[in-house]
Amino acid sequence: MRVIGIDPGTGSFDFFGMDDDRVIVDTTVSVMQVSENPKVLLDVIKSVLPLDAIVGPSGYGLPITPVKQMGERELNLMVPDDKSIPLYDGIRMVLRLMKEEGLPVYFTPGVIHLNTVPAYRKANKMDMGTADKVCCTVLALRDQAECLNIDYNKTSFILAEIGYAFNAVMGVNKGKIVDGFGGTAGGPGFITLGSMDAELAIRLGKFPGAAIFTGGAKDASDKADLTPEEMAEDQKRFADSWNMMVESIQKSVLAMMVAVNNPKEILLSGRLSRVPEIAAALTERLSKYAPVRLVGRRARVAKEAAEGAYIIGEGIKGGQYKKLIDVMELNKASGTMYDHILMKGVDITRP
């Protein structure tokens, strides 16, 4: 079975796929390349055709949906039509092209769509973890099951997904995602502010979506072009940035222990988890609660979300990971990210 997964990250689009036990694609394309020519993504896909399934860029997610069922409503639910974020235009163009080409693309859910998360935890939430964060969690679940030699329904962990822009923390118990803090609803990331104080939101009024890509650890420094590696190597100079990010991850993991109170492991994934100083600091801070390690992966280039997307695609097509998809109940996902808003006196534009 030939299946690939695609991860639309802030800095790159990653591709990972296999034909049964053989890797057929493991590569990355920079966002700059995509912005200049979105069709470059189709070129990567066409280089490995024919394919049985592609798990495509799903943004905020949908219940498992083939691309042929994607209309403007579904497109807007996954990727907002926000002109202040140029990357969104590129993704939307690629999704339309995928449909026009008749590619076997499937879109997958975010945490908000999962029936394994109690409704009360979804109250007034929209971003509990985007579709790519669910993909990362799928990879982590497979990894723990293999490493500990346990069934999928015995897995239990907290995953800290530490990206260049956003951080997210996911909770898994008995093989099911039971809670999540998405990148815009959790602590600050390297470049993003994370959740916003409601008092600040009131005083801002309307603001462009691009504003969420500011206010993170990078902006807490005195260096406009600070990199995560520089921050980690000179923690004294960039103490505010370092502490802001590392402490926020620790806080989110500890908060997640309310939902997963006895995890077998605390797992780390994402680009910044592979910065040695960051991994070491989080291991030291979190190992008192559970064993801490990086998620294992077969990809050498593509990030965790792309490999997790491959696993989902292979599973929904009835392959070796069908049981994993069944245990996680991904095929029972439903609804939209607008379904759990309880606030009164507000007017939210819904696709």
Q: Is residue 145 part of a domain?
A: yes
Residues with Cβ < 8 Å from 35, sequence gap 6 or more?
86, 87, 90
Q: Residues of the chain with pLDDT > 70: what percent?
A: 100
Overall number of domains in the chain: 1
Q: What is the CATH number of the domain that holds 179?
A: 3.30.420.40
pTM for the full model?
0.96
Residues with Cβ < 8 Å from 171, sequence gap 6 or more?
158, 159, 177, 178, 179, 180, 256, 259, 260, 263
Q: Is residue 347 part of a domain?
A: no
What's the average model confidence in pLDDT over 28-38?
A: 84
Domain, as residue range, for 241: 2-332
What is the b/e burial string over 187-208, where b = at least 16 CB atoms within 10 angstroms of the residue's CB?
Answer: bbbbbbbbbeeeeeeeeeeeee
Render pLDDT for 316-351 as a digit per residue (tens, 0 to 9). Answer: 999 999 999 999 999 999 999 999 999 998 888 888
What's the average model confidence in pLDDT over 263-279?
A: 97
Q: Is residue 309 part of a domain?
A: yes
Q: Is residue 349 part of a domain?
A: no
282: confidence class by pLDDT, cuts 50, 70, 90: very high
Q: Residues of the chain with pLDDT > 90: what percent?
A: 84
